Amino acid sequence: MAYGYRGLGFVSAFLVVDCILIWLVNAPTSTRVTSPPIATGDQLMITLVLVGAGIIAVLAAIYYKVKPVPANLSF
């Protein structure tokens, strides 16, 4: 996933999109660019899911940077 510059670019792009989504979820309703139908009580859970996805992406990037996937996968 993050083996080389292309993989690091994908991880960086994913994290930028993830941060934008977190900002959209937690922005006040009066200043939102788009207004997704999110209840006030669900904002915390959605934010935690997005943060968890970001953490998993970073950990996967570190893991595959240390131990890359072999090219000859035989199932």
In residues, how long is the chain? 75
Task: Using alpha carbons, select from 23, 26, 25, 10 the residue that is nearest to residue 58.
Answer: 10
18 within 8 A of 53, measured Cβ to Cβ = yes
What are the pLDDT tens digits along the chain (75 aa)? 455 667 777 888 888 999 888 888 887 766 666 666 777 788 889 889 999 998 988 888 777 776 666 666 555
What is the dihedral angle through the alpha carbons of 23, 48, 14, 30, rounded to the nearest 10 degrees? -20
